[in-house]
Copies of this chain bind each other. A is one copy, B any other.
Amino acid sequence: MKYCSQCGESVEIGIPPGDNRERHICPACGTIHYHNPRIIAGCLPVYGDRVLLCKRAIEPRLGYWTLPAGFMENGESTEDAARRETLEEACTEVEIQSLYTLTSILHVNQVQMIYLAEMPEPSFAPSEESLEVELFREEDIPWDQLAFETIRKVLSLYFEDRKKQHFPLRHVEIDSNGFNTARVHD
């Protein structure tokens, strides 16, 4: 941020009164501009013993496989966002089961929420955002062609938890050095 989005003047960096962090502050109109983490919502769609992955049609990581997920929009719930992204990227309507992973991605200021979701039908298709969409058994997951480390983590946790048929909410934390933790509270 270089300019104030309210009045167009150049912003300065400083710590506002009563605060303890540096913010972008407008010296002209006084607006303090806060920057906060954004939410990525998505699903891990399951059909029988297979999970649905999408091959990305857009950068970053074009051509690599991922779970359907994207930025939550204003005016929707986290579950609606997860369902919408799954519909947009994989052309499939899922039934959400539970929140499965909550990943704080510290170095890019994102919080990724992945819901376990059932596919009532094995019906899906490529889209503007996905070159291919496909159901994979565990042994067929393209581990070396996954788009993001966070997605690799979600899939690893899932196949591990599937052995026990118990899918507790997992808190994951990652920074630019890799994973810090994958906690489960229950």
Could you tell me if A3 and B2 are in contact, using CB atoms closer than 8 angstroms? no
A selection of 7 A-B contacts at a CB cut-off of 8 Å is: A2-B5, A5-B33, A36-B71, A36-B73, A75-B106, A78-B104, A79-B104
With A3-B5, A21-B73, A79-B171 known, 19 other A-B pairs at CB within 8 A are A1-B6, A2-B7, A3-B6, A5-B5, A8-B9, A8-B10, A18-B128, A34-B71, A35-B74, A36-B39, A36-B71, A72-B111, A74-B109, A75-B106, A75-B109, A77-B104, A78-B171, A98-B169, A99-B171
CA distance A77 to B106 in the complex (A): 7
- A2: nearest chain-B partner, CB-CB: B6
* Contact of A39 (CB < 8 Å), options: B11, B37, B76, B185: B37
A169 to B21: give the CA distance in the assembly, Å: 32
* The 7 nearest A-B residue pairs measured at CB: A77-B104, A3-B8, A98-B185, A74-B109, A1-B5, A36-B38, A5-B5
* A76 & B106 in contact (Cβ 8 Å cutoff): yes
Residues of B within 8 A of A146 (CB): none
The DSSP consensus for interface residues of chain A is loop
Q: Tell me whether A4 is interfacial, beta carbon within 8 Å.
A: yes
CA distance A102 to B41 in the complex (A): 13
**A9 contacts which chain B residues (CB < 8 A)?**
8
A residues lining the B interface (CB < 8 Å): 1-11, 18, 21, 33-39, 71-80, 96-99, 102, 104, 106, 109, 111, 128, 169, 171, 173, 185-186
List the B residue with the shortest CB-CB distance to A10: B8
Measured in the bound complex, the distance between the Cα atoms of B95 and A148 in whole Å is 31
A73 to chain B, nearest CB (A): 7
A72 lies within 8 A of B36 (CB):
yes
